[in-house]
Chain A
Amino acid sequence: MVTLYNPDNMRKERIEQAESILKSLPFKYCFITGSFLFKEKYKDIDLFIITRSKKEINPAKINKKLKITIIDFNDLYSLFYHSVSKSCVAKNILPKRELKATLADYWGIINEAVPTILNQKDRFHKDIRYLILYTEYFRSSQILDTHELNKKISEFKNNSQILDYISKNTPEIITKNANISYIKRFFYTQAGFYKDSSYKAQRLLYELTHSIING
């Protein structure tokens, strides 16, 4: 049985192709999402398989364009899973778990995103998916599907724009979603780890912790 989740923006012919790929797979829970379903031109077919099996899968045997991501059952609570499964063609009804996304996770993502964005210069689009997903979730309580996420990411033309997006949104999000004592305890400690760093990324993170603490 094939299930369509939020198919409004999907291309009809791709739905049929996705169905045929999914039917050929020996997995109970798998789904296809991403540009293959939504855009005329696409690079890969993003296939997600929910399985406990550690067995390696050779995508080329099925379709040369398949890019496989294995999702563990323990990851079903993640924002990543909720996003990729929001609009997709799936084999069977996909399992659902309640979403768990914390501000500490969000800060971990920013902490990693800032140096990555600076290193990648203007080739950062692939590396900001988590950052945008978490920011938009905490900012507007909206989980972006892969189509919406790609659209949002394409709005950023250079790394300064994405760094501005972080400086503008992060302090607002943290102050809106956490109480003052947590903010002071957590971010004063974090600021200490970045203090006196000779690297630009840590200096930016240090400034960010201060604007969060100062509200």
Chain B
Amino acid sequence: MVSPNDFKENIKKHLSQEFSLEFLGDDFDKIVSFISDTQAEKIYSWITQILNKNIQPIVIGSKKQYKDWRVYELLFFRKELNISNTEYRIFFIKVKNSFYIEFHLGKHDYYDKLRKKLDLTKRNY
């Protein structure tokens, strides 16, 4: 099992950026504590692939404001995570040609709320 602090530090280390990355989600630390070492390694490797531009982002053509940015200025990277038959979603957000700003981890209901804020089409599947 992974310690939430180690998990966050490892992700920050991969990014090595000056801008402070925010870790967000209902029960973020609790969910991280359920992640196995193997799953954590897969998440770090996914982040490396993102940094190497091997993962395709979602770009949403919306002028809606999201914090300090417009939604179209952001890149979204999504990953599914299954822990003991419960589905979680990781949503990693980067400003185009700039910093990574947020790392979200949560269950379906948290993910649905986030999708709404980012003007993503509602999905049930």
Contact = CB atoms under 8 A, between A and B. Distances in A.
Nearest to A197: B59
Given A105-B121, A112-B120, A130-B125, A189 B56 contact: no
B123 A111 contact: no
Contact of B125 (A80, A114, A115, A201): A80
Contact of A201 (B56, B123, B124): B56
Contact of A111 (B60, B78, B122, B125): B60
Q: Which of B53, B78, B120, B125 has the most CB of A within 10 A?
A: B125
Q: Which of B60, B78, B120, B123 has the most CB of A within 10 A?
A: B123
A119 B79 CA distance: 10
Contact of B56 (A75, A108, A193, A200): A200
The B contact surface, by secondary structure, is loop
Interface residues of A, number: 30
Interface string B40-65: 00000000000001011111110000
A119 B56 CA distance: 6
A14 interface: no
5 contacts: A109-B121, A114-B56, A119-B55, A201-B56, A202-B57
Interface of B: 53, 55-61, 72, 78, 120-125
Given A189-B61, A190-B61, A115 B56 contact: yes
Interface string A38-57: 00000000000000000000
Contacts of B58: 111-112, 115-116, 201
Contacts of B124: 69, 71, 75, 78, 80-81
Nearest to A133: B125
Q: Which of B59, B60, B72, B122 has the most CB of A within 10 A?
A: B59
Contacts of A197: 59
Contacts of B72: 193
Contacts of B125: 80, 126, 129-130
